[in-house]
Amino acid sequence: MSYINTNDFCTGCNKCIRNCPVFPSNRAVETGKVDVETDACIDCGKCIDVCSHEARVYTDDTDMFFEDLKEGTKITVVIAPAFIANYPNEYKKILGYIKKLGVSHIYSVSYGADICTWGYLRYLERTGKKGMISSPCPAVVSYIERYRTELIDSLMPVYSPVMCMAKYLRKYEGSRDKIAFLSPCIAKKSEINDANCENLISYNITFKNFMEHIGDAYKTADEYNDELQYGLGSLYPMPGGLKENVKWFLGDDVSVRQVEGEHEAYKFLDDYKPRANGPVMIDILNCGSGCLFGTGTQPDIDEQKVYDEISNQRKNAKREVKRSRFKGTKISSWTKNAGPAERYKALCEQFKKLDLNDFIRNYTEKKIEMKTPSAAEQSKIFKDMNKTTTAEQCIDCGCCGFDSCKEMVKAIYNGINSKENCIHYIKSVAENERDEIGRLHREEKEKQERKDSMIADIVERFDSLSMSISELSQANETSAGEATDMSKSISEVSDRCNQLNESLKVILEFIDVYKATSADITGIAGQTNMLSLNASIEAARAGESGRGFAVVAGQIGSLAAETRNLITKNNAQADETLPRMQLCIDVIKKLVEEMENINEKVSTIAATTEEIAAQSQSLHKMSSDIAESVRLI
């Protein structure tokens, strides 16, 4: 399991893929982010080094260590030799500071490195094997367990220096404390948690996180020294440190192959085949500067000062071991003037109480299978990537993070990458989209032209409709005015008819009076006629003397007769006139009623016309607004 992960700062630049020595360690299935495949990653830390976005981070046990220490947990700290090289002027105060916090004991892993050297040499002596690969680097061990499982038998089956130190404290010093490792390495956490390492160590505390946690708090602490004497194990963090230790005991003629650096180490392992005439050992480390500037160290450390310090430590160590003696030996295993065989004998004497089997470890195959697509499957993936020609399938631009297009196809086939991360695919999609957008634009332009034509036609129709409505409104207003005038005229005719009716009624009344008067006149005429008759009789009686009177009487009788005849004639005419006058009155009444009905309807027409006129104006405005809106489309 990896202890490196991706945070939200990832931009998907693929730099981690490009620099990763392990093909399947990065998953970029979702465009925009590259995640860590935790089972495939070996915690080499290269991605952290190259990521300029600080998107790759790691976890260690620094916080848990300080929390447990605060709770009173008994903890012994073992420190990597590289810590002294990185902080030569501060490390004693730093050790004093954590001692004050409650740490039980502090030991340098250099002593464990001496045990590790002894274990290597004893194993080689027992087995006579050659070409064995060193075990101090957990990233190298993880790589072999996952990707070069056929080399597991070539891994030196001896604990790393820190595990040798922990085993020694448990078995031979009787320590029951939890053990914390002040470490320059991210990958040490995977070694600590490996079931094959017996849970000997509880905390991996990287230099970087440790120093960031304590800050300047250590500066007022008393100095403190680690508690065990050691030899050339202090050289282990240097490039070739193990090689120098082996040659110290086996002689300069012994062939030890030295390999450092992420790409160099794994390329070497990919090509490595143990052979009888090969080197005795392979001293191989993930980091190009050894453990001095491991993946868990602070990046702002002055490298030159560290190299100067480790050089001084080398000189001091050799001076110290020259004066050192161990019980039962005449010379020290570190005595410079002794020969390699004598030194080795002294080393075996120094650790004679140790049982090599206590420091032997096992390895577990954790093979990561990467399937290779068939030619047909490869062609299908290339087709999905819009790479249909041989030239397109060999662009090998490296933008996806892989060296070749075929590697990218393999990654896609194994589900750790996607075609969306291929720049050619993105460009082809963009070009296709551009062409499609161009086509759609042309279609849209044609549609727009048709639309503009339709809109112009609609506007023209609306203008015509608006004009028609305006004319209708004007005509309607004229009609409304004429209807109003007609209604007024009809009202006037109705009024005159009413007046005529009244006049006819007066005439009828006059005729009635006339007939009554005529009857009186007729009576008077009758009486006059009687008088004339009487006068005539009397005139006849009077004889000659009454002749003149008789003439008058005759004239009066004639006048009475004429009057009666005239009255009779007028009465006949009056009788004839009266029905006609009544008919006129009835006709005029009916005419007035009809005129009133017409006037009411004309009034209704006038009101309706005015309403139509108002609605026509509203419709005219609406039509104008719609036409204006259509123009603005």
498-541 pLDDT tens trace: 776 676 676 767 667 666 766 666 677 677 767 667 767 776 77
DSSP 284-345: EESSTTTTTT-TTS-TTS-HHHHHHHHHHHHHHHHHHHHH---TT-SS-TT-TTS-HHHHHH
DSSP code, position 76: E
Q: Any idea which of 13-17, 115-119, 415-419, 594-598 has the lowest mean pLDDT?
A: 594-598
User: What rounded mean pLDDT belongs to the chain?
Assistant: 84
Kindly state the tokens that stand for 573: 């005419």
Angle at CA of residue 46, ends 42 and 50, nearest 5°: 150
Question: pLDDT higher for 334 or 128?
Answer: 128
- The confidence score (pLDDT) of residue 605 equals 74
Residue 252 has pLDDT above 70, yes or no: yes
Q: How far apart are CA 257 and CA 273, in angstroms?
A: 13
Handedness of CA 227, 232, 238, 240 (dihedral sign): negative
* 178-183 β-sheet, strand order: 106-108, 75-79, 178-183, 203-206
DSSP code, position 222: P
- The confidence score (pLDDT) of residue 323 equals 45
pLDDT in tens, 162-219: 999 999 999 999 999 999 999 999 999 999 999 999 999 999 999 999 999 999 999 9
Selection from 8, 17, 261, 228 nearest residue 113 by Cα: 228
Helices (H) and strands (E) in the chain, counts: 18, 11
- The confidence score (pLDDT) of residue 313 equals 65
- The confidence score (pLDDT) of residue 138 equals 96
Around Cβ 396, how many Cβ atoms within 10 Å?
14
- The confidence score (pLDDT) of residue 560 equals 65
- The confidence score (pLDDT) of residue 504 equals 66
Q: How does residue 633 score in pLDDT terms, banded at 50, 70 and 90? A: low
Question: pLDDT higher for 452 or 146?
Answer: 146
Residue 322 has pLDDT above 50, yes or no: no
Residue with tokens 């390999």: 259
pTM: 0.70
CA atoms within 13 A on the CB side of 353: 8
pLDDT in tens, 329-354: 455 666 667 888 998 999 999 999 99
Q: How does residue 134 score in pLDDT terms, banded at 50, 70 and 90? A: very high
Please list, in sequence order, all residues whose beta carbon lies within 8 angstroms of the beta carbon of residue 4, skipping any fewer than 6 positions away: 36, 41, 43, 45, 47, 48, 56, 57, 58, 186
Q: Any idea which of 92-101, 276-285, 334-343 has the lowest mean pLDDT?
A: 334-343
What's the one-letter identity of residue 166? A
In percent, the amount of the chain with pLDDT more than 90 equals: 51
Question: What value does the mean pLDDT take over residues 299-324?
Answer: 67
Q: How does residue 414 score in pLDDT terms, banded at 50, 70 and 90? A: very high
Handedness of CA 79, 343, 348, 330 (dihedral sign): negative
pLDDT in tens, 481-493: 766 776 676 777 6
In percent, the amount of the chain with pLDDT more than 70 equals: 81
Question: What value does the mean pLDDT take over residues 608-628?
Answer: 72
The CA-atom distances, in angstroms, between 583 and each of 114, 208, 373, 508, 511 are 154, 131, 120, 12, 15
Query: Assign residue 398 a region: left if phi > 0, alpha if psi is -120 to 50, beta otherwise?
Result: left
- The confidence score (pLDDT) of residue 238 equals 78
Selection from 284, 75, 305, 286 nearest residue 182 by Cα: 75
**Helix, strand, coil % over all residues of the chain, rounded to 5:** 65, 5, 30
Q: What's the CA dihedral at 442, 447, 453, 455 to 10 degrees?
A: -130
Question: What value does the mean pLDDT take over residues 237-262?
Answer: 89
Question: Phi, psi at residue 75, to the nearest 5°?
Answer: -135, 130
Around Cβ 436, how many Cβ atoms within 10 Å?
10
Three-state secondary structure of 160-214 = CHHHHHHHHHHHCCCCCCEEEEEECCCCHHHHHCCHHHCCCCCEEEEHHHHHHHH
Residue 392 has pLDDT above 80, yes or no: yes
DSSP 227-239: SS---GGGGTTST
pLDDT in tens, 422-444: 999 999 998 888 888 888 988 88
Altogether, the residues listed in the chain come to a count of 633
Q: How does residue 413 score in pLDDT terms, banded at 50, 70 and 90? A: very high
The long-range contacts involving 325-333, CB below 8 angstroms and separated by at least 24 positions, are: 326/350, 328/352, 332/231, 333/231, 333/249
Residue 61, SS3?
coil
